[in-house]
């Protein structure tokens, strides 16, 4: 009986140990599977972080800015990403490192979003400025074209105005017409002129002319110079010198007339100087106003 009892107890112990071994084996197997799954999870997480960091580096490499501050921020972020990426590639992943990398990745994502938002804003502003530049350029071209048109038109008007002004200035100039010159023997008491065509009988020369009507000329006193040149090229009755547009001339007579824009007839007498006598031949008379020649004629004394 005692031997049977011991055998029975031994069997119970063996069964218990077998059960325990099975349980421990099952637990070890489950624990090993869980560790493998967790390790694979860490590897996957690490690979995901590495992939996202690599994508961020690639996206940063394609960005270039003229804005110095923005480019500095971009370069600093690129350096940080490169350092973290190196750690992710070459360090064995564990729970702490993966958690740390993910936190750093989130920070970098936030920075990346901030930079990209700023880039988008700057691009929008640049596009607006570009469109404004195009608009302003078009308006400037229109302004320049209009200015050139006005300049051309103004030049044309200026030429036309100059021509009109020239015509008006010419129209303002006094002129004389119907100039007549004759030798005079004597003048009677009642004013009758006894003329002659013979030089030895002539004592003086009578010159008559008409200043025609001119509505453009300025009314008022007008100073006229009359010059008579004899056949010997001497000025008859030297009274002084006046200036013309070309030179200075000796005049035979200076008269003042009151012109009122209507026909004005004027006559005058020119006597030779005391040491001068009238010679046979052709005489030339010229009339000047403001240094400008306004009329002339000739006469012959026999």
Backbone angles phi, psi at 53, to 5 degrees: -65, -40
pLDDT digits (tens, 9 = 90+) for 9-37: 666 666 666 666 665 655 554 544 554 55
| Cβ(221)–Cβ(257) below 8 Å | yes
Please give the torsion angle defined by the CA atoms of residues 235, 237, 241 and 247, in that order, rounded to the nearest 10 degrees.
Answer: -20
pLDDT digits (tens, 9 = 90+) for 210-234: 999 988 888 899 999 999 999 999 9
Q: Which stretches within the chain are classed as H helix?
A: 2-61, 68-90, 95-172
CA distance 38 to 25: 20
Beta-strand relationship, 193-196 and 204-211: unpaired
CA separation (Å) from 63 to 51, 118, 133, 295?
19, 12, 24, 89
Please give the torsion angle defined by the CA atoms of residues 182, 201, 251 and 245, in that order, rounded to the nearest 10 degrees.
Answer: 50
Identify the pLDDT of residue 148.
76
Distant-in-sequence, close-in-space partners of 24: CB < 8 Å, separation ≥ 6: none
Beta-bridge partners for 193: 187
Identify the pLDDT of residue 32.
47
Beta-bridge partners for 285: 228, 297
- pLDDT tens-digit profile, the chain (302 residues): 555 566 666 666 666 666 666 656 555 545 445 545 555 655 666 666 667 766 666 666 666 666 676 667 766 777 776 666 666 665 565 555 666 666 776 776 777 777 777 777 777 777 887 888 788 778 878 878 877 777 777 777 777 777 766 666 666 778 888 899 999 999 888 888 888 999 999 999 999 999 999 888 888 999 999 999 999 999 998 999 998 878 888 999 999 999 999 999 999 999 999 889 999 999 999 999 988 898 999 999 99
| Cβ(287)–Cβ(293) below 8 Å | yes
| Residue 228 C-alpha from the chain's centroid | 61
Identify the pLDDT of residue 151.
75
Distant-in-sequence, close-in-space partners of 119: CB < 8 Å, separation ≥ 6: 63, 65, 70
Instruction: Give, to the nearest 10 degrees, the angle between helix 95-172 and helix 68-90.
Output: 160
Query: Considering the domain 177-301 in this protein, what is its CATH number?
Result: 2.60.40.2560
**Which residue is listed with tokens 């048109």?**
149
Where exactly does CATH 2.60.40.2560 map onto the chain? 177-301
| Cβ(53)–Cβ(46) below 8 Å | no
Q: Which two tokens stand for residue 30?
A: 């489950």
CA separation (Å) from 196 to 47, 181, 184, 189?
137, 11, 6, 18
């Amino acid at each position: 009986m005692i031997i049977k009892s011991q055998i029975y107890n031994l069997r119970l112990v063996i069964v218990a140990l077998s059960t325990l071994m099975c349980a421990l084996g099952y637990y070890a197997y489950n624990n090993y599977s869980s560790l493998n799954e967790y390790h694979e999870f860490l590897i996957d997480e690490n690979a995901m972080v590495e992939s996202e960091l690599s994508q961020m580096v690639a996206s940063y490499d394609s960005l270039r800015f003229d804005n110095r501050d923005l480019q500095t921020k971009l370069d600093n972020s690129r350096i940080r990403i490169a350092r973290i990426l190196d750690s992710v590639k070459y360090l064995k992943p564990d729970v702490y490192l993966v958690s740390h990398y993910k936190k750093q990745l989130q920070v970098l994502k936030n920075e990346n979003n901030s930079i990209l938002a700023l880039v988008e804003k700057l691009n929008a502003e640049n596009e607006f400025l570009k469109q404004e530049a195009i608009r302003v350029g078009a308006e400037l071209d229109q302004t320049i074209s209009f200015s050139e048109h006005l300049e051309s038109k103004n030049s044309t008007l200026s030429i036309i105005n100059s021509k009109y002004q020239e015509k008006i200035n010419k129209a303002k100039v006094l002129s004389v017409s119907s100039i007549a010159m004759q030798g005079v023997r004597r003048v009677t008491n009642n004013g009758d002129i006894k003329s002659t065509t013979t030089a030895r009988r002539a004592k003086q020369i009578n010159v008559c002319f008409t200043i025609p009507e001119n509505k453009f000329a300025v009314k008022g006193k007008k100073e006229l110079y009359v010059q008579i040149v004899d056949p010997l090229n001497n000025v008859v009755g030297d009274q002084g010198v006046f200036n013309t547009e070309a030179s200075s001339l000796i005049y035979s007579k200076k008269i003042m007339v009151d012109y009122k824009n209507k026909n004005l007839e004027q006559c005058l007498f020119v006597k030779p100087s005391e040491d001068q006598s009238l010679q046979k031949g052709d005489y030339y008379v010229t009339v000047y106003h403001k240094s400008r020649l306004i009329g002339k004629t000739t006469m012959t004394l026999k």
